[in-house]
Structure 1
Amino acid sequence: MAGMELAPFRPWGDLFPGVDRFSKPEVSDLSKWNNRVISNLLYYQTNYFAAAVVVILMVGCLNPLGMFLGGAVVALVFTGLVWAGENKAVIKNFKKRNPTLFVVGVLGISYFLLSLCGGVMVFLFGITFPMLLILIHASLRLRSMKNKLENKIEAVGLKKTPMGVILDLLDQQEEKINKIQDFLESKLKD
């Protein structure tokens, strides 16, 4: 984790500017939508982490044991599946081809395990609700030039941030997506 930098907080006016900086994602072009989400996750990561911590603390105050259990289960399932994805070829190939399904799998397995011990409400409100809010914002927020520049700096390896590490573990880096997109565009031209 040496050389890890924490991205700066973005001003409230940058996170929630006027309506003109939000737009419905192009669901017909999944790579473009995915690129927008990843870019926003990298750019606003500190704001997203802070918002998630606030929601987690609120739920944690209402049910501290359930929140601890829910967080521990999700962390263990995520760590286990990432480890398996690095060491088992079948899971690694699945993760590379279907990164979204991989994340859904982590959440699904976590939900199942927490339902066995009665922690479903904590899971829904303390873990998935912050993730849903972050995903909605990252999907709707248009990228700015500063956002694109920061992401290129991280993609070249000049900066390494916590969200960049998480996205690497999920095989969801913008440069990988751009390589795939360039490859597909070159094949379509042929």
Structure 2
Amino acid sequence: MRKFLLLLSALTMAIGLTACSSKDDAKTEKNDTPKETAKEAEAPKVDVKKELVKFYIELGNKINAKDADLNAYEKKASNPDAKPEELPTVEEKAAASESAAAVASELNSTQIPAGLKDQQADLEAIVKDYAASYQAKADELKKDTPNFEAADTTFAQAEEKLGKVFESAKLLAPSLGKQVN
């Protein structure tokens, strides 16, 4: 009987210790939660690489939606073997100018996603350069002999800046020029 009581009291003590230790663990877990973890739970972590790529694709899609007439004009105008009847017409030139102006307008209304707030200033400057490039083309197309050198230089500068933003996020530099032409 004594052995039984001793065994029963040992079992009771073991259960009591187990119950107390699990309560202490629960308190420790609650108290060990740092404030940073609570902040992280409030604001989910943004995948900057994914957001940058998504922004880049959307930017290209916006341009492609508006620049068809400009691309057609540039293709015809850049053909060195073109016969006079194969050169762009006045109507095509006017349509290309309108197309370039529409791209510039679309780019000027582009918003940088909230997930890219650390890159926002750089991306706004880049989009502004792209818009300026298209606006320069629109303005040049209103002249008798358009010259796109300045517009192409501005576009190349924007490409370089975009590449730096991508490289800072450990991504390969993209080429928007390849995507939109």
Scaled by the length of structure 2, the TM-score of the pair is 0.28
Higher RCO (CA-CA < 8 Å; seq separation 6+): 1
Scaled by the length of structure 1, the TM-score of the pair is 0.27
Structure with bigger gyration radius: 2
